[in-house]
Amino acid sequence: MSSDLTQGCIKNHLRSIAIPSSIGYFFHTMFNVTDTYFAGDISTQAVASLSLTSSIFFIVIAIAGGMSQGLTALLGNAIGQKDIVHAKQIIFHAGILALFLSIILTIIGLISAPHLIVLLKADGQYLEEALAYVNIILLGAIFYVGVFFSNAILNSIGNTIVFRNFLISGFLLNILFDFWFVKGGLGIAPLSVKGIAYATIIVECFGMAYLLYNVKKTYLLKDLPKFKFDIDIIVSFFKQGFPPTMNMSLMAFGTFILTYFIASFGQHAIAGYGIAIRIEQIVLLPSIGINVAVLAIVSQNNGAGLFDRIRQTMQYAQKVGLMLWIIGMFFIFAFGEFMISFFSKDPLVIDAAMSYLIAAGISLYGYVLVFINVSLLQGIKKPSLIIYLSLFRQLIIPTILFSIFSFYKLALGYYWFGLALTVWSSALFILWYAKRKLQELDPI
C-alpha cells in the first residue's frame, strides 16, 4: 500500500484505506457489543449503568479522537508538501500533547463523574455500579490517548491495516477478559461491572504498545532530527484539533442531554437506547471507514495543491455513502428487532430500542454527509465551522426540542425523530458550506 496519496487512483486509495478501517471499527463496535452482552447477563440495571456513563466515557474518546484527527490533518499536509522534517517535528510535539491530555482527562474526569451521574437521576446501587465502571475507565485515559495518537500517525500515510489488526485482536481478548472478570475464576472473584472496565483498559494498554511499535517502523520515525520546541506547531495543533475535539465532545454532551431527558422514562428506556446505539454503530461502520480515508487523502492532496483530486474524492465518497444508506436501512428494518432481542428479552427495552433504530435508519445518509464533509474541512485546514455546527446539532436544537417534548409529555419516539431532524438539517448545511470553502481555495 502506497503512502503517497497524491498519486494513483482515487477509488483504489479510498478502498485500500476505508475497507481495513471499516473492518477494524466493526470489531471495535463488537468490542462494545460484547461489553453490553456481559452487562445484560448481569442485569438490566448493569446495561443501564453502562449506558448512563457512556456520555462521560465518550468525552474522553472525543478529546483524544478529535486531537488525533488534527494530527492526521497536519501530518497529511506536511507529507503532501514533501516536508518530512517538519512532519517529524509534529510527531515530537504530539507526544508531549498526548501526555498532557491524558493527565488532564483523568483528573477532571474523576472529579466530575459523580456529579454528572447524579444529575442523570442515578442513586443507590445504580449510582455505585455506574461509578465503579467509569472510575476505572478514566484511570486508563493514557491508553486511549496513546492508541488514538499512534493511529493518527499511521492514518496520515494511509495505513489503516495495523489499527484493524489491533481492533480484531482486541475484540477477541475482550471476550476472554470479560468472561473471566465478570464470571470469576483462576483466583479472581466475580467483579460484575468493574470486570468489564478492567477488561477494557487492559486491551487498550496492549493496543497502545502494538501501535507504537508499528509507528516506530515507519519512515516518519527514522533518522529523527533534534527536537526543537515550536510554539507554532502547538498552536496549529489546537487550530486543527480543537474543532473536531469540540465536535466529538459536543456529541458526548448531546448524548448526556438526551440521556437526561429520557431518564424520566425509566431504566428500560436507558437500556434500550444503550442497546440501539450499539446496533446503529454497526450500520455506520462503513461510513466511518470512508471518513478516515477522506481525511487522509484530502490532507495530502491539499498539501500538494491537487484540488481536482479532492473533488473526485468527495464525489466518489458520497456515491458510496448513498449505497451504504440503502443497505443500512434494509439491515435495520429486516434484522433490528432480532439484534435487540440478543441483548434483552424485556419487551419494554425492545420497544424503546426499535423505535430509536427506525429513526436512526432515516438519519444514516445524513450522518454520512456530515462525516465526510467534516473530514474535507479538516483536510483543507478550514475546520472552524465544525464547532458551530456541533453546537447547533448537539446542544441548541436538541435542548429546545426535548424541552418542548418534555413539557407536553410526549412519547419517547418524538425524541428519536427529533434527532433525525437535526441530523438532516446539519447535513444539508455542511454540504453547502464545504463546497463553498473548496471553491474559495480553487475557483472553477
- Residue pair 241/62 in contact (Cβ under 8 Å)? The answer is no
Is 147 part of a structural domain of the chain?
Answer: yes
Residues with Cβ within 8 Å of 5's Cβ and at least 6 positions away in sequence, in order, are 13, 76, 80, 158, 296, 297, 300, 301
Q: Rounded to whole angstroms, how far apart are CA atoms 362 and 359?
A: 5
pLDDT in tens, 220-245: 888 777 878 888 888 888 888 888 77
SS3 category, 26: helix
Q: Crossing angle of helices 307-343/10-42, nearest 10°? A: 20
Q: Which of 212, 209, 211, 179 is nearest to 195 (CA)?
A: 179
Q: What is the pLDDT of residue 123?
A: 65
Specify if 14 maps to a domain. yes
Q: Which residue has the cell 491495516?
A: 161
3 is a domain residue: no
Q: Is residue 308 part of a domain?
A: yes
Q: Tell me, yes or no, whether 172 lies in a domain.
A: yes
Residue 149's contacts (CB-CB under 8 Å, 6 or more residues apart) are: 64, 67, 68, 71, 94, 95, 97, 98
| pLDDT reading at 399 higher than 80 | yes
Query: At residue 214, does pLDDT exceed 90?
Result: yes
pLDDT digit string, tens, across residues 80-127: 888 888 888 888 888 888 888 888 888 887 887 777 777 766 666 777
Asked whether residue 67 is domain-assigned, the answer is: yes
Q: Is residue 405 part of a domain?
A: yes
Q: Which long-range contacts (CB under 8 A, 24 or more apart) does 409-416 make?
A: 412/262, 412/265, 412/269, 412/352, 412/355, 413/355, 413/359, 415/258, 415/261, 415/262, 416/355, 416/356, 416/358, 416/359, 416/360
Structural domain containing residue 428: 10-441
Q: Which of 48-52, 163-167, 274-278, 377-381 has the lowest mean pLDDT?
A: 48-52
2 within a domain of the structure (yes/no): no
Q: Which residue is associated with the grid cell 483523568?
A: 106
Query: How many residues make up the chain in this entry?
Result: 444
Q: Number of structural domains, the chain?
A: 1
- Higher pLDDT: 37 or 416? It is 416
